[in-house]
Amino acid sequence: MNVAEQTRTQAQAAKEAAEVLATASLEQRNAALQEMSAELIAHEDAILAANAVDIESARADGTGEALLDRLMLNSERLAGCRQALAELCAIPDVLGEVICGRTITQGIHMKEVRVPLGVVGMIYEARPNVTIDAASIAVKTGNAILLRGGKIAQRSNEAITVALQAALRTVGLPVDSVQNLDATDRASGNELMKLHGLVDVLIPRGGTGLIKTVVENSKVPVIETGSGNCHIYLHAAADPTMAHNIVMNAKCQRPSVCNAAESLLVDYSVAEELLAQIAPELVAAGVTLICDQDTLRIARAAGVTDDMLREATDEDWGTEYLDMQISIKLIDGVDEAVAHINKYGSMHSDAIVTSDFETAQKFTSGVDSAAVYVNASTRFSDGGVFGLGAEIGISTQKLHARGPMGLTALTSTKFILEGNGQIR
Amino acid sequence: MNVAEQTRTQAQAAKEAAEVLATASLEQRNAALQEMSAELIAHEDAILAANAVDIESARADGTGEALLDRLMLNSERLAGCRQALAELCAIPDVLGEVICGRTITQGIHMKEVRVPLGVVGMIYEARPNVTIDAASIAVKTGNAILLRGGKIAQRSNEAITVALQAALRTVGLPVDSVQNLDATDRASGNELMKLHGLVDVLIPRGGTGLIKTVVENSKVPVIETGSGNCHIYLHAAADPTMAHNIVMNAKCQRPSVCNAAESLLVDYSVAEELLAQIAPELVAAGVTLICDQDTLRIARAAGVTDDMLREATDEDWGTEYLDMQISIKLIDGVDEAVAHINKYGSMHSDAIVTSDFETAQKFTSGVDSAAVYVNASTRFSDGGVFGLGAEIGISTQKLHARGPMGLTALTSTKFILEGNGQIR
């Protein structure tokens, strides 16, 4: 059997497992999570040994240190995963929730009930902790999951899957509920994207290239996640201290994540005053400023040296740097800010700083993003922070789920209708 | 400009229109619907004249009478469309609904609010009334819409669109909110499926082939609709009269629609008793029976002649006839019924007839369909009947919307977060 056939066979097994999982009780699903935690301890040596081989092999192939760090597992990181499992256990069940219900024509009782999606496919990069997170969230929500991680994490993911399947076996749930695909071959990912009818949703998590490939090629419905070209807009009525704090936090606190700021818009009328302070501070923190003409002038006047400045091109307004760089543009009022963000943004998280009520309203209703902020940092965009429980990712599409996705993003609904012989 | 370029240009204009529509008030959107009704009267002669040319041209090309009937408009059918417009006006707004809200970390006020999807693409067959339905539902929910109807309805759809755009112009909403694509060229449909980033969702409505093509080729997220291989399962504890009534209604009342029954499952223990009555009555109504071996024997014993019988192949269990035919299979209990339906069904609407409580529960929780019935006909699956207001179609996928889709299926949500300077 080649890898494509193997993938299809695994998906078929996942579909059968999903039918059993769909009617598993909350107690059984939570017991599986507890057993997963125990099996991760029991299998820790095997997992770390497999991970060490992955790391060694990736390093020999010239993989960079940042990627190696993401790939690396140790006791502390596995303990973090077990902590997440314990927290997931404590989250109330989302299955069976009655979304709405009423008595319809001829006295038929109708209710719309939350049910699992079925089979979830996850395509992601070389972060083995995602394997544990994704598998446990799937089981909590009654879904089977096919995991297609990064090629360089294959041994780690396989060892983790062995542990997770042992847990499923212990509690009497189908072991095929959690399966690791062969990530060493492109064929597994390509086949996964073709399995319309077997796989109910594909969630790509990772870089822009990975997500674009999946969106463009998948016949299975996709939830697009991730890329965040987030803006901070400093309105004429912005409080200067607040403006300063929010820009510095959104840009510098953790520049590599999707909810970090990538672009700064400033009203002309207050640009000199605000940027004279903020520009040098950003530079002092190590941020390169990618500026329009007016901002270049203001930054130079404020003492910023040319090695930390670059003139922006049109492409910059649409770029997610994920790095110590920020694009800066002067604009004329909230309407222009809204238009700019809707044109160049990625519909992730965008913020305005203003003390004017009507301007804030215009911004929140006009900006077409998953999360729109007034007077707060975009860095809060996170399922945990939003109180959604576990987070599977941040959707930047409008269909099905938008913004930080909690457990309900892995569910669908069905209508149940009960009668006593009604016909039409 | 070729048709593909023209389609892209229209989509770009729709995106700009959608940004304006997204913040249009309910009063403005309802005024547009009222004006649409008025303009359909004002343009009735032009619409009927265009339709007459479409009909003549389609008939000359050998189009069958059933399709010609769907294509045909007259004063009465247009009056029906205006009635639907009036009802749509009366439905409460779904935009702005606060789905959830709470105060999160550091006192940030969060709310999740219902917003339009943006640009909706509709690909459908030669039914010009769908043009009016779909356009009006889109405007009611603040969405722009690109309409790609059947090739043979192009003149009718163009004349209707002229009327609808006149209404938009009158109330000051962008005319590009409703646009008719060039359906005489395949390029418009092909291009529409490529417009990821410009078009937020594609809804194909029509035959299985059309839907399959869109699902397999679209880079834009799709809501799959329509095909209904619906089952009636007569359990051992079925009331015989109820069983008879529900089977006859679900199969015969309107066999060409997606919620009509296509397959009958009967428990072995009651098959002789139930089918001895039901089989001849189905045949008397003109239904051909496509049977497994046991059913063939029972039907013959009940006097059904061989011209109304055919032996079923495995393919029959998965076939939607949309016609006076039904497949019949004897099975052994609810577990086998659930497994059969989940294997061969289309996840649309399926019913059990039983007086046993636990069996009913097993069926409703086990069958993985959008609508699951106990003791009622599958023919009730309809947005209007379910109390959802207007219906855009019946989703048979699990993502975003499932079963009959009301206005909320054309919406997304966004998070709005208000603070006073919070940083992380």
Interface predicted TM-score of the whole assembly (ipTM), two decimals: 0.92
Interface mutation vs chain A, best among B111, B386, B391, most A CBs within 10 Å: B386
Distance from the Cα of B42 to chain A's closest Cα (Å) equals: 35
Q: Would the CB atoms of A253 and B423 count as touching at under 8 Å?
A: yes
Residue of B nearest to A414 (CA): B370
CB contact (8 A) between residue A374 and residue B418: yes
For the stretch B10-61, pLDDT in tens is 999 999 999 999 999 999 999 999 999 999 999 999 999 999 999 999 999 9
Instruction: Report the pLDDT value the prediction gives residue B226, as an integer from 0 to 100.
Output: 73
A95 neighbourhood in chain B, CB within 8 Å: none
Interface of B with A in 371-400 (CB under 8 A): 371-377, 379-381, 385-387, 397-400
A33-69 per-position pLDDT tens digit: 999 999 999 999 999 999 999 999 999 999 998 889 9
Is A398 in Cβ contact with B412 (below 8 Å)? yes
pLDDT more than 70, % of chain B: 100
pLDDT grade, residue B209 (50/70/90)? confident
Question: For B167-188, what is each residue's pLDDT tens digit?
Answer: 999 999 999 999 999 999 999 9
Asked if A377 and B423 come within 8 Å (Cβ–Cβ), the reply is yes
CB contact under 8 A, B417 and A369: no
Q: Does A215 sit within 8 Å of B373, measured CB to CB?
A: no
- Looking at every residue in chain B, the average pLDDT score rounds to 96
Q: For residue B420, give how far its alpha carbon lies from the nearest alpha carbon of chain A (Å).
A: 5
Cβ–Cβ contacts within 10 Å for residue B323, how many? 12
3-state secondary structure chain A: CCHHHHHHHHHHHHHHHHHHHCCCCHHHHHHHHHHHHHHHHHCHHHHHHHHHHHHHHHHHCCCCHHHHHHHCCCHHHHHHHHHHHHHHHHCCCCCCCEEEEEECHHHCEEEEEEEECCEEEEEECCCHHHHHHHHHHHHHCCCEEEEECCHHHHHHHHHHHHHHHHHHHHHCCCHHHEEECCCCCHHHHHHHCCCECCECEEEEECCHHHHHHHHHHCCCCECCECCCCEEEEECCCCCHHHHHHHHHHHHHCCCCCCCCEEEEEEEHHHHHHHHHHHHHHHHHCCCEEEECHHHHHHHHHCCCCHHHEEECCHHHHHCCCCCCEEEEEEECCHHHHHHHHHHHCCCCEEEEECCCHHHHHHHHHHCCCCEEEEEECHHHCCCCCCCCCCCCEEECCCCCCCEEECHHHHEEEEEEEEEEEECC
Q: Which residue of A has its CA nearest to B238?
A: A421
Residues of chain B neighbouring A377 (CB-CB closer than 8 A): 422-424
Q: Which of residues 331-350 of A touch B (CB under 8 A)?
A: 342
Query: Searching chain A, which residue's CA lies closest to the CA of residue B104?
Result: A386
- pLDDT score at B120: 97
| Mean pLDDT within B335-342 | 97
- Measured between CA atoms, the residue of chain B closest to residue A195 is B216
Residues 290-319 of B with CB under 8 A from A: none
Q: Is the CB of residue B177 less than 8 Å from the CB of residue B17?
A: yes
What type of residue sits at position B264? L
Residue in chain B lying closest to A242 (CA) = B421
CA distance B334 to chain A (A): 15
Average pLDDT over residues B300-305: 97
> Would you call B380 and A422 a contact, using CB atoms and an 8 Å cutoff?
yes
Give the tens place of pLDDT for each residue, B107-130.
999 999 999 999 999 999 989 999
Neighboring chain A residues of B249 at a CB cutoff of 8 Å: 423-424
Q: Determine the distance in angstroms separating the CA of B398 from the nearest CA of chain A, rounded to an integer.
A: 5
Instruction: Note whether B132 contacts A: Cβ–Cβ < 8 A.
Output: no
Task: Give B-chain residues touching A418 at CB under 8 angstroms.
Answer: 360, 364, 373-376
- Asked if pLDDT for residue B238 goes beyond 90, the answer is yes
* Nearest CA-CA distance, residue A95 and chain B, Å: 11
Distance (Å, whole) CA A52 – CA A50: 5
For the segment B138-158, the average pLDDT, to the nearest whole number, is 97
Res B362: pLDDT: 96
Q: What pLDDT digit, counting tens, does each position of B54-108 carry?
A: 999 999 999 998 889 999 999 999 999 999 999 999 999 999 999 999 999 999 9
Q: What would the pLDDT profile of B349-387 be if each residue is shown by its tens digit?
A: 999 999 999 999 999 999 999 999 999 999 999 998 998
Cβ proximity of A287 and A325 under 8 Å: yes
The number of beta carbons lying within 10 Å of the beta carbon of residue A220 is 22
**Does the distance separating the beta carbons of B424 and A377 come in below 8 Å?**
yes
Average pLDDT for residues A183-203, to the nearest whole number?
95
CA distances from A318 to A255, A312, A321, B103, B415 (A): 16, 11, 10, 32, 22
- pTM for this structure? 0.91
Question: What percent of chain A stands above pLDDT 70?
Answer: 100
Q: Are B241 and A421 in contact (CB < 8 Å)?
A: yes
pLDDT for position A66: 85
CB contact under 8 A, B417 and A368: no
| pLDDT higher than 80, residue A226 | no
What pLDDT shows up at residue B391?
86
* pLDDT of res. B93: 96
Using the Cβ of A406 and the Cβ atoms of chain B, whether some distance falls under 8 Å is answered with no
Residue B122 tokens read as 């509709």
The answer, for A41 touching chain B at a CB cutoff of 8 Å, is: no
| Partner A contacted by B355 (CB < 8 A) | no
Residue B405 CB partners (closer than 8 Å, separation 6+): B223, B225, B383, B388, B391, B392, B393, B394, B395
Size of interface A-B (CB pairs under 8 A): 216
Partner residue facing B416 (CB), from A200, A372, A377: A372
Q: Are residues B402 and A424, on separate chains, in Cβ contact within 8 Å?
A: no
Inter-residue contact B232 to B247 (CB < 8 Å): yes
A370 touches chain B (CB under 8 A): yes
How does pLDDT run across A253-293, given as a tens digit for each residue? Answer: 999 889 999 999 999 999 999 999 999 999 999 999 999 99
Question: What's the pLDDT at B207?
Answer: 81
**Biggest alpha carbon–alpha carbon distance for chain B:** 82
Which 3-state string (H, E, C) describes B58-125?
Answer: HHHCCCCHHHHHHHCCCHHHHHHHHHHHHHHHHCCCCCCCEEEEEEEHHHEEEEEEEEECCEEEEEEC
pLDDT tens for each residue of A347-390 = 999 999 999 999 999 999 999 999 999 999 999 999 989 988 88
